[in-house]
Amino acid sequence: MQVLLIALLAGIGFLIAYHTYGKWLGSKIFALSLNRVCPSKKLEDGIDYVPTSKGVVFGHHFTSIAGTGPIVGPAIAIMWGWLPALLWVIFGSILIGAVHDFGSLVVSLRNNGQTVGDIAGRVLNRRVRLLFLLILVMSLTIVLAIFGLVIAAVFKKYPAAIFPCVVQIPIAVAIGLLLHRRGAGLLLPSIAALAVMYLTVIFGNVGFLGQLNTIMAGWSVWTWVVVLLSYSYVASVLPVWTLLQPRDYINSLQLISALALIVLGLFVAAFIGGAPLEAGGDRQSLTMAAPSINPTPTGAPVIFPFLFITIACGAISGFHCLVSSGTSSKQLKSEPDARFVGYGGMLLEGFLATLVILACGAGLGLGVKTADGALLTGEAAWLARYESWSAAKGLGAKVGAFVDGSANFLVAVGLPSSVAIALMGVLVASFAGTTLDTACRLQRYVVQELAGTLRRNPDMPGPLALLENRHGATIVAIAIAALMASLPASGNLADWSMESAGKGGLILWPLFGATNQLLAGLAFLVVTFYLWRRNVPVWFLVIPMVFMLVMPIWAMSYNLFHPDSGWLVAEKPNYLLGCIGIATIALELWMIFEAFKAFPKAKGVLESNPLDDWQKQGS
C-alpha cells in the first residue's frame, strides 16, 4: 500500500497546489485579466498566432514540455534512492518548475508572444538579449540533433510503436481540417481519434504491419534522423492548426489515458498484487524494490548537485520557458487560461515523473526477464537494471526500466504483456516526437529573433533578412542540426560510416543537462526583472532563481575540473566540451553581472517601449 499511497498523496498535493499557490500567483502576482487582448488575437496570422481553446493548447503544451525528460531523468536519478528523487519532483514542480513555466508564459503574453530571450533585451539590456539568444540556439540545436537518435532508439527497441506513431500524422491533419475549416466540435473527433490510436496499438504489429514495423526498425539511425528532421521542417512551417495542435492534442489524450491506466494498474497491484509470472502462480505483492536513500551508487557522480540536473523536466527544465514563450503564448485566446496551461501543465508533468519513479522503483519488482530468460522479482529484479551507474545510464536501460515497470502495472489489470509494452513504447516515442517538432518551430523563432537582433538597419535587405523568413530560418535550423547529427559520436570523421552517422548529438549531449537548467535560472531572471519594474513582489522568485543559477554552474564546474573525470583535467582531456563549458559559465556570470548592475535602478521603472498594457488595463 505504500506505493499506492505515494501516488495518491502526490496527486492530491498537486491538486491542492494548483488551487492555492497557482491561484494566488494568477490573481495576486500576475493579475490575469479577461480584458487584455492576447497576442493570438492581436497578431492573428493563421500560421503561428492562432486563437485556440485552452484544452487544445494544454495538449500541445504538455506533450511538448514533457518529451522523454520526465521519463529518463527520474529513471536514472532513482539510483540515489526513490525518496530524494520523489521529494525533488514534488516540491520542485510546485514551487519552482510550475512557477517558471507560468511566469514565462505570462511575460510572453504581455510581450506579443516573444521568447524570453527576446524579452530579456528590454527588461535587462540589449547585450543580455544577444547572449540569451545564443544560448537558446545552442540548446535547441542539441535537442534537434539528439531527439532523432532518441526516437530511433525507441523504435529499434519497441518496433510495435512505429505504426501507431506514424499514423498519428494523417489523423492529426484530418482533425485539424475538421476543426478549423468546418467548425466541427472537438468531442466526437477526439473520441474517434483516441479509439483509432488504441486500435493501432493493439493491431498495429500484426501481419503486414508487423513486417513493415520490423523493416523500419532496421533503418539506420541516420535514415531516421533525416526522415524526422524533414518531417520537423514541414511541421514547423505549416500553420499550427494543420498538424502541430491536433497532433499534440491527440497525443495528450492518448498519453493522459495511458497515465490513467498506469494509476489503475497501481490500484490493482496494490490490493491484489501483480499478474502471476507463470500460469497458476501467485500474484506478486507490490512493494518498493529500490532503496529509499542511496547517496553513493557505484560509479555515480555526487548527489549534490547532480540530482537537480539529472531530473530536469520532471521538476524544472529551461526548455519549458521556450515552449511557454515560443508556441503556447501565441495560441492562448484568454489570459486566465495561462494558469491552466502553464502552472497546471507542469504539475501534470510532475505527476508523470512520480509515476516513473514508482514504475522503476516498484513496478520492476513485479517481475522482469533477464537476457538468459530467468525471471526475477523484488530487489533482484531492480538490481538487474540498476547494478551500477553505468548499467543504468544508457538510453535503452532508462527507457526499458520505465516501459517494463509500467507495463507490469498494466498487465496486473489484465492487458496482454505485448499490448502493455507496445502502449508504453508508443507513449515514450510520442513524447519524443512532439518535443522534436516543437523544438524545430522554437528554433525557427529564435533564429528569426537573432537575425533581427544582428541586422543593423532593418530597412535594408541583406543575407540576414532571409533568416527572418520562416522558411529560411527553418532551413538553417534543420541544416545545423543535421550537420551535427551526421557526425559519429566520437567526433572523429575517420570513424564515419552509415552505422555511426546520426549520433553526433551525443558529442555535446553531456553539456545539455547543466545548460538546460541554467536556461531556467536565466528565465527566472527575466520574469523577476519584469515584475520588479512594475513594483510587483518578487520574493517568491529569488530563492528558485538563485538555486537554478547555482546548481548548473556547480555541476558544470564539477564536469570541467573533477580530478578523475573532468573534461579539462582528465588523462585524455576533452577540449571541445571543456571550452564550451568554460564559455557557458562565462556567459552566465556575464549575464548575472549585467542583472546585478541593473537591479537597483530597475525597481518601478518600465522598460523603454514596453509592449504590454499592464498599467492601462486593470486586473
The mean of the pLDDT values for the chain is 89
Residue 406: pLDDT band (50, 70, 90) is very high
State the DSSP H helix or E strand holding residue 254, giving kind and residue range, or none if neither: helix 244-272
Report the pLDDT value the prediction gives residue 411, as an integer from 0 to 100: 94
Q: Which of 73-77, 330-334, 391-395 has the lowest mean pLDDT?
A: 391-395
Say what the pLDDT of residue 615 is. Answer: 39
Domain covering 2-486+497-602 in this structure, CATH number: 1.20.1740.10
CB 196 within 8 A of CB 171: yes
> Residue 457's pLDDT is what?
56
> What DSSP line would sit under 39-77, residue for residue?
HHHHT--SSS---B-HHHHHHHHHHHHHTTHHHHHHHHH
The predicted pLDDT at position 175 comes to: 87
Choice among 148-152, 246-250, 278-282, 312-316 with the minimum mean pLDDT: 278-282
Residue 522 pLDDT exceeds 80: yes
Q: Convert the pLDDT of each residue in 559-569 to its tens digit.
A: 999 988 899 99
In tens, the pLDDT along 328-387 reads 999 999 999 999 999 999 999 999 999 999 999 999 999 988 777 788 899 999 998 898
Q: Can you give the C-alpha Rg of the chain in angstroms? A: 23
Counted residue by residue, the chain has a size of: 619
pLDDT in tens, 197-235: 889 988 888 889 999 999 999 999 999 999 999 999 999
Average pLDDT value for residue range 43-57: 93
| Alpha carbon separation from 260 to 73, 74, 264 (Å, rounded) | 21, 19, 6
Do 205 and 163 touch, CB atoms closer than 8 A? Answer: yes
Q: Which of 189-203, 263-277, 335-349 has the lowest mean pLDDT?
A: 189-203
pLDDT of 462: 64
Indicate the pLDDT class of residue 126, thresholds 50, 70 and 90.
confident
Confidence band for 456, pLDDT divided at 50, 70 and 90: low
Q: Would you list the domain boundaries of the chain?
A: 2-486+497-602
Res. 458: pLDDT tops 60: no
Grid cell locating 209: 504491419
573-608 pLDDT tens trace: 999 999 999 988 988 888 888 889 888 888 898 886
Of all residues in the chain, the percent with pLDDT exceeding 70 is 95
* C-alpha span between 70 and 57 (Å, rounded): 20
- Once rounded to an integer, what is the mean pLDDT over residues 101-118? 94
Check if the beta carbon of residue 110 is closer than 8 Å to that of residue 330. Answer: no
C-alpha–C-alpha distance, residues 93 and 100, integer Å:
9
pLDDT at 608: 67
pLDDT band at 617 (very low <50, low <70, confident <90, very high): very low
Mean pLDDT over 49-74 rounds to 91
Residue 509 in this model has a pLDDT that exceeds 90: no
